[in-house]
Chains A and B, each alone.
Chain A
Amino acid sequence: MGGIDVGTGGGKRRTLDSEINMIPMIDLLMVTISFLLITAVWTHMARVNASAQVPGKEDPTVTPPPPKKQLHVEMRTSDKFVLLWKTGNTTINSVDVPRQDVIVKVGTTDVVRFPDLADRIEAEWKTNGEHQLAEDKDFDTAVLHTDNKTEYKFIVAVIDAIYKAKRDLTVNGKTERVTAFNVSFAVN
């Protein structure tokens, strides 16, 4: 048993060589470990945001705001992505990015990534993005267009590539790194 040796007491005084009982301490540690192991969460889930761009009826009483410049990411063919900067229906510029799927098998899951697309989107935002200042509370919007046959894992991989572009955002004097784009998913 563990103890603390502080020498022996002299004469009739109580001995100073006392032992600390370790059993309750070890019991407590064991119970704490058991509790924490049982309640532990080993899988950490996360989310990626997207807002719906759903066609709807126009309200004649409301004046629509002037159209904003948006990045449209088109994923309609198997060989390339098309990046279009548009204001309303007017195309400002267009870039083709060759599609190179990087698929890594992790267990039973296929992890899909588009590193070239992510780099290109980041470069496009740095060149054409309108909300780059840390004090600017608005975000640029990226609209994702896909065909109907595309599998979900590829859609999420493109959203992941869009979210790779990061910027600073200062709120109440505190600056943090946030995603440069808000993503909309075109449902048409």
Chain B
Amino acid sequence: MAIHEISHHSEVLREPGRRLMHHVGLEFVEKKISGGGHRATNAGLSLTSMIDFLVVTVVFLLMSFSTSGEIPIAKGVTLPRVENAEDMLDAPMVAINGSQILVDGVSAGNTGAIESSDRLQKIDELFNILKAKHDLWLSTHQGKPSPGVVVLQVDQNVKAIVVKSVFQTAAFAGFPNVSFMVDIIPRSSH
């Protein structure tokens, strides 16, 4: 009985080596897998190049990662592009699109009256909102001088008279330093 078992196992135990799917009894399957004269359908996938690619992608994305997040641009505003600019800062955002003035997304007047009159005007709604923001800043930062900075998001086709009116209104409300938000382009060789 014991001798019979050993002889049985000797058929199962074989020398190690390349024997891919050869134990499958079905001949046509074996032929299919090993190619049967044609190119083998059982192809190996090299993971090295894939991992290399993933690592390079991760490194690139980590390098370009920004914690400050994206600054929302008001609808209908196409920003001008410049070469010489500085990094953005955190300040109240005044947006001027074709017809509307918005402060941090809240409506603060429209530009129609200014454009039609072609005269420099103080925009009362904008002034009140900016003054409230300025006063709030002063009350929360006791004893510190206000930086007085406001960021203007202005559509590239807006007329100078509108920009001047908003500029003047902001200055009267306690924001004499204005930063124009722009889209940056690489410096030309010029």
Contact = CB atoms under 8 A, between A and B. Distances in A.
Contacts of A44: 184
B168 to A, nearest CB: 5
A157 B164 CA distance: 16
A159 B35 CA distance: 71
15 contacts: A25-B51, A33-B57, A33-B61, A36-B58, A46-B82, A47-B86, A50-B178, A50-B180, A52-B178, A109-B78, A113-B188, A149-B161, A152-B158, A156-B180, A157-B80
B96 to A, nearest CB: 8
B180 A47 contact: yes
B161 A148 contact: yes
Nearest to A30: B54
A40 interface: yes
A111 B81 contact: yes
B89 interface: yes
Nearest to B162: A152
Interface of A: 1-2, 22, 25-26, 29-30, 32-33, 36-37, 39-41, 43-52, 54, 106, 108-113, 115, 118, 146-153, 155-157, 159-160, 163-164, 179, 185, 187-188
Given A47-B88, A151-B157, A187-B168, 13 more contacts: A2-B47, A33-B57, A33-B58, A40-B61, A45-B73, A45-B79, A47-B89, A48-B179, A52-B176, A149-B161, A156-B82, A156-B182, A164-B84
A47 B151 contact: yes
Nearest to B114: A148
A49 B58 contact: no
B41 to A, nearest CB: 19
Interface residues of B, number: 60
A93 B178 CA distance: 29
Contacts of B163: 152, 155
Nearest to B91: A47
B189 to A, nearest CB: 11
Task: Please classify the interface of chain A as helix (H, G, I), strand (E, B), loop, or mixed, using the class held by over half of its residues.
Answer: mixed
Interface in B30-66: 47-48, 50-51, 54-55, 57-58, 61-62, 64-66
A148 B161 CA distance: 5
Given A45-B182, A46-B182, A159-B180, A32 B159 contact: no
Contact of A48 (B57, B82, B157, B161): B82
B180 A22 contact: no
B156 A153 contact: yes
A164 B172 contact: no
